Amino acid sequence: MSKYKPLEEYLSRLQDHSVKLTFKQVEEIIGTPLPLSATRYRGWWSNNPDNGVITHSWLNAGFKSAQVDMKDQTLLFIKTQDHTTDNSLLGKDRKNKLPNTEWLAGNDSSDLEVLMKLRGTVTVMPGTDLTTPLGEEWER
Please write the tens of the pLDDT for every residue from 50-64: 888 899 999 999 999
Question: Helix 23-30 crosses helix 5-13 at what angle (to 10 degrees)?
Answer: 110
22 domain residue, yes or no: yes
**Phi, psi angles (nearest 5°) of residue 74:** -135, 160
pLDDT for 125 equals 77
The domain tally of the chain equals 1
31 domain residue, yes or no: yes
67-82 b/e with 16+ CB inside 10 Å = b? bbeeeebbbbbbbbbe
Reported residue count of the chain is 140
Provide CB contacts within 8 A for 25, sequence distance 6+.
Answer: none
137 domain residue, yes or no: no
Query: What is the chain's alpha carbon radius of gyration, rounded to the nearest angstrom?
Result: 18
pTM higher than 0.85, yes or no?
A: no
Closest Cα partner for 67 from 100, 39, 27?
A: 100
44 domain residue, yes or no: yes
| Whether 16 contacts 84, CB under 8 Å | no
pLDDT at residue 32 is higher than 50: yes
Going by pLDDT thresholds of 50, 70 and 90, the confidence category of residue 111 is: low
139 domain residue, yes or no: no
Residue 110's SS3 state is: helix
Q: What domain range is 104 assigned to?
A: 5-118
Half-sphere exposure of 119 (CA within 13 A, CB side): 25
Higher-confidence position of 21 and 106: 21
30 domain residue, yes or no: yes
85 domain residue, yes or no: yes
103 domain residue, yes or no: yes
